[in-house]
Amino acid sequence: MPLQIMKLAITADSTVTTSPTVERFFNEATSTVTGPGTLTIPVEDFWTDTGADATTLPALATDNSYFNVYVNGVLQMEDLLAYTPGGTGVGQLEITVPTDSTIQVDSAIVLVVANFTPTSDTTIIT
């Protein structure tokens, strides 16, 4: 018999579900911030999708989450942002305003937090 590669006779069928939870928080800048500077927005200054005052900013699931920040509808660069999850007195968003940049008073600021709870099911047939 000639040499040959021996293989296992196995098949697998996998199903992956990602199940996102997306939360949005809204704010309007109460003052103009001209760079270099920082705009800090505590959790209690945000509103939820229902218009209610926010009481907590969600934790970010390790390797299964992200957050985005929009100022006047424009997505901002990640390195300008610092997100701290938590409840009143703890949670906040900090936006670093670089030199020669400005966030005007009444600018709309939207924070979007997405967490995923992935599950998978694999059936192996031998």
Predicted confidence (pLDDT) per residue in 32-83, tens digit = 999 999 999 999 999 999 999 999 999 999 999 999 999 999 999 999 999 9
Assigned domain for 70 exists: yes
**How many residues make up the chain in this entry?**
126
Q: Which residue range(s) make up the domain with 102?
A: 20-118
Predicted confidence (pLDDT) per residue in 79-105, tens digit = 999 999 999 999 999 999 999 999 999
Assigned domain for 126 exists: no
Assigned domain for 3 exists: no
User: Token pair 């020669």 is at which residue?
Assistant: 100
Assigned domain for 27 exists: yes
* pTM, 2 dp: 0.85
Assigned domain for 15 exists: no
Assigned domain for 63 exists: yes
Contact 75, 66 (CB under 8 A): no
Buried b (16+ CB within 10 A) or exposed e, 73-89: eeeeeeebeebebeeee
Domain at 24, CATH number: 2.40.30
Q: Domain count for the chain, please give it.
A: 1
Res. 108 pLDDT band, cuts 50 70 90: very high
